[in-house]
Amino acid sequence: MTIKRAALGCAVGGAIVAAIAGTGLLQAEASKEVNIYSYREPGLIKPLLEAFTKQTGIKTNVVFAKKGLIERAAAEGRNSPVDVLLTVDIKRLADAEAKGLAQPVKSAQIDANIPANYRDPDGNWIGLSQRARLIYASKDRVKQDTITYEELALPKWKGKICARSGQHPYNIGLLASLVSHLGAEKAEAWARGVKENLARKPAGNDRAQVKGIYSGECDIAIGNSYYMAAMQTNTKKPEQQEWANSVKLLFPNAEGRGTHVNISGAVLAKHAPHAAAGLKLIEFLASEEGQRIYAERVNEYPLREGIAASERVASWGALKADKLPLEAIAKHSPKASEIMDKVQFNLGPQS
């Protein structure tokens, strides 16, 4: 009986050791991948993720959607597979934090590479690149080379502006900055004035607005800087190169407070199953190599000091960025959304 018990004890003990070893093995294997929910288009982040995998050996699994990923992660709760959430604006970063989806990131490497004003003080989100909200203007029909956002509401632009949805985070961010600078009443008057100057109901993405200028539907539009580079280099859809060639870029308020800028950024998910791998990804995106890829291949403005914009982006002109804190944009975003609804921006002019 003693021998049998001893044998049984050895068998059980061996099974426990094997289970522990197996668990360790599974954890080791799990650390070789990272799950990403991305609001960023796959083509834009592909060079970054390929470089990350090459450097670390960690596989990246990406779920892309234009909207709803924050809500999806919140609904999944502790069972969510997401490790890192990649967003395209400060509003979504703030939304993820507000919904309790973030865990604080503590990394000396990130702190050294990304200036403090582009990071949440508590580490709940990290900015990774900067984009400017510029004016696309017809080379043939717009003679001026300077402009302000405020000017877009003047009667001179009646029927000459194209825009995407007023509720899109890019336009909400811009309007939130105007709420901060001008106050809610003047920002509402601006939104109403721009709406009445639209050539049509808001529709499409930023590229579609450039197409509208090319076709003569409108003379100017508001768009993010990196879309211009994406069109200029699009060999798969050469018609977009023609659209891009029909416009010039104007940096609004360059002679005053500066051009409105927003950021792309990352959140390390609160219940990340591969948190260590997720942190490595964010550290890579903030690293010198990652920031160079943002600049040279994604054609966005890097946040790491000492990394220059690409030659293509630099050729458009110098960016004087509005110094408005990102927290102010996040704070005033709900009011901006309310204003867009109040003036019925998405119904177009004379509605």
The residues, ordered by sequence, that sit 6+ positions from 106 with a Cβ below 8 Å of its Cβ are 123
C-beta separation of 117 from 329 below 8 A: no
CA neighbor of 83 nearest in space, from 28, 33, 27: 33
DSSP string, 48-105: HHHHHHHHH--EEEEEE-SS-HHHHHHHHGGG---SEEEESSHHHHHHHHHTT-B---
Q: How far, rounded to the nearest angstrom, does the alpha carbon of residue 234 sit from its chain's CA centroid?
A: 20
Give, in order, the Cα–Cα distances in Å from 252 to each of 46, 73, 219, 320, 339.
31, 36, 16, 9, 22
Q: How confident is the model at residue 351 (pLDDT cuts 50, 70, 90)?
A: confident
pTM of the model: 0.84
Q: Would you state the pLDDT for residue 44?
A: 85
Q: Would you state the pLDDT for residue 284?
A: 98
Q: How confident is the model at residue 303 (pLDDT cuts 50, 70, 90)?
A: very high
**Residue, of 31 and 265, whose pLDDT is higher:** 265
Collapsing DSSP to helix, strand or coil, 43 comes out as: helix
- What are the tens digits of pLDDT across the range 266-284? 999 999 999 999 999 999 9
Q: How far, rounded to the nearest angstrom, does the alpha carbon of residue 157 sit from its chain's CA centroid?
A: 29
- What are the tens digits of pLDDT across the range 25-83? 334 344 699 999 999 988 889 999 999 999 999 999 999 999 999 999 999 999 999 99
- pLDDT exceeds cutoff 50 at 324: yes
**Residue, of 170 and 18, whose pLDDT is higher:** 170
Q: Alpha-carbon distance 229 to 278, whole Å?
A: 29
- What are the tens digits of pLDDT across the range 94-117? 999 999 999 999 999 999 999 998
- pLDDT exceeds cutoff 50 at 19: no
| β-pairing verdict for 84-87 and 220-224 | unpaired
Q: Would you state the pLDDT for residue 5?
A: 39
Amino acid at 272: A
Residue 10 CB neighbours (<10 A) = 10
- pLDDT exceeds cutoff 70 at 210: yes
C-beta separation of 138 from 219 below 8 A: yes
Q: Alpha-carbon distance 5 to 142, whole Å?
A: 91
- What are the tens digits of pLDDT across the range 211-261? 999 999 999 999 999 899 999 999 999 999 999 999 999 999 999 999 999
Q: How confident is the model at residue 16 (pLDDT cuts 50, 70, 90)?
A: very low
- pLDDT exceeds cutoff 70 at 8: no
User: What's the sign of the alpha-carbon dihedral 153, 337, 165, 126?
Assistant: positive
Question: What number is the average pLDDT over the span 154-179?
Answer: 97
Q: How far, rounded to the nearest angstrom, does the alpha carbon of residue 263 sit from its chain's CA centroid?
A: 6
C-beta separation of 230 from 246 below 8 A: no
Supply the mean pLDDT for the chain.
91
Looking at 4-8, 247-251, 294-298, which range is the least confident one? 4-8
C-beta separation of 264 from 83 below 8 A: no
Q: Would you state the pLDDT for residue 263?
A: 94
The residues, ordered by sequence, that sit 6+ positions from 258 with a Cβ below 8 Å of its Cβ are 320, 321, 322, 323
C-beta separation of 329 from 176 below 8 A: yes
Q: Alpha-carbon distance 86 to 102, whole Å?
A: 12
